[in-house]
Structure 1
């Protein structure tokens, strides 16, 4: 069974707005490595639509982008992408798959079928999967910023405190820190 790893940019005050992180070569390399090491991506509908609106055009050369971003987009294009949605059924982006129905059972099957692991990148979906006790690891890129607004990490709350075990903490040149935690069981 593969691990389900939640990975996201987060500011010091917990903001997970994708526009609040520092975007440079080193932070990009962090997320590229995570994607390369995982067997599949898992998103909620809103994150999927945000990604779908930009990355396929970059991968196909229809949008100008630096070479490193184009290479990442091509990898993302090929990577299996699973989307949880109760409102949308059609996901035309290459290699995209819809997850509907029993969330716990569907995610457990996905983890079983993906020995190299699944990378989760949606805040709201992470809250639901955390409530179901399905997240195994966390790879946060903590940025040296205070956003002062939301959305924030687990803003709708969890039923209990989660104990985590620190695996690694690596500071980046921009001041962000890559934090890798495993769920303490």
Structure 2
């Protein structure tokens, strides 16, 4: 069984708006390494639709991008992508698959079938999966910014505090800190 690793960009005040992070070669190289280490991506429908509206064009070369960003796009294109959605049934982006029905069962089956692990990149879906105790690790990029607005991580709350163990903390040259936590027993 593979691990489910939640990874996301967030500001010091917890904002997860994708426009607030530092989107440079260094942060994209970080996420490319995570993608290389994982067997699949997992998103909610809203995040998937945001991603499919941009990254396939970068991978095809229709949009100009620096090498690190293009590399991310090409690897993302090839990676299996799973989407939790109760409303959308058609996913035309290469290697995209729907998870429908019981969330716990669907995500657990995905973890069981993906020994290299699954990389989760949706904040709202992470809240639901954390409520179901399905997230094993957290790889967070903390950006040196205060956004002063939302959406924020776990803004809908959890039923109880989640204790984590620090695995590593790595400062990047751009001021971002890559935090790696795993669930405490």
Taking structure 1 as the reference length, the TM-score comes to 0.98
Tell me the equivalent position of 2:86: 86
Tell me the equivalent position of 1:129: 129
SS of 1:19's equivalent in the other structure is helix
Aligned-residue CA RMSD in angstroms?
0.7
Q: Bigger CA drift: 139-148 or 70-79?
A: 70-79
Q: Bigger CA drift: 163-172 or 23-32?
A: 23-32
Tell me the equivalent position of 1:38: 38
List aligned pairs for 1:133-148, cutoff 5 A: 133-148=133-148
CA distance, structure 2, for counterparts of residue 66 and residue 142 of structure 1? 22
Render the CA deviation track for 1:70-112: whole Å, top value 9, x for unaligned.
2221111100000001111110000000000010011110000
List aligned pairs for 1:98-177, cutoff 5 A: 98-177=98-177
Compute the displacement of 1:67 (Å): 2.4
In structure 2, runs of 5+ residues without a counterpart are none
CA distance, structure 2, for counterparts of residue 58 and residue 23 of structure 1? 14
CA distance, structure 2, for counterparts of residue 154 and residue 69 of structure 1? 28
Taking structure 2 as the reference length, the TM-score comes to 0.98
- Misfit runs of 4+, over 3 Å: none
Q: Is the 8 A contact 2:29 2:72 kept in 1?
A: no
SS of 2:50's equivalent in the other structure is helix
Compute the displacement of 1:16 (Å): 0.5
CA distance, structure 2, for counterparts of residue 175 and residue 59 of structure 1? 27
Q: Is the 8 A contact 2:81 2:96 kept in 1?
A: yes
Render the CA deviation track for 1:135-167: whole Å, top value 9, x for unaligned.
000000001111000000000000000000000
* Count of paired positions: 185
CA distance, structure 2, for counterparts of residue 135 and residue 60 of structure 1? 32
CA distance, structure 1, for counterparts of residue 23 and residue 153 of structure 2? 19
In the alignment, does 2:53 pair up with 1:53?
A: yes
Compute the displacement of 1:68 (Å): 2.2
In structure 1, runs of 5+ residues without a counterpart are none
Compute the displacement of 1:27 (Å): 1.1
